[in-house]
Amino acid sequence: MEAKEFFSDKDIQLPLTRVQPDFPAYLGRVLSKFRKLLGQIKGSDPLSLSVLAQARASRRLCRALMRSISSYYEGYPSSAYGIFATAVGPLRARSKIT
């Protein structure tokens, strides 16, 4: 699969619509599918190579997002924010987002 196919997959293409009431379970399924599809990228085109170069960071971010959501739903919003901020910090630094 090339990255173009990855980004076109209906299970991860934005915007997503949730019909299940259990948000953590829903997000877990979406991120699990994202990680599975990420592992299927084998293309050698520039976009695929760029996505593959960031695959480890993407997987780390998915895990951190799930930890953050879990922490929030367990009643620890401050901890959830800390996990989230730590996870997206490197992304903000790279993209110059303030």
Q: Per residue in 32-76, pLDDT tens? A: 999 999 999 998 999 999 999 989 889 999 999 999 999 999 999
Q: What is the mean pLDDT of the chain?
A: 89
> Which residue in this structure is represented by tokens 């997002």?
65
Alpha-carbon span 85 to 79, nearest angstrom: 10
Length of the chain in terms of residues written: 98
Question: Is-above-0.85 flag for pTM?
Answer: no
What gap in Å lies between CA 2 and CA 76, rounded to an integer? Answer: 39
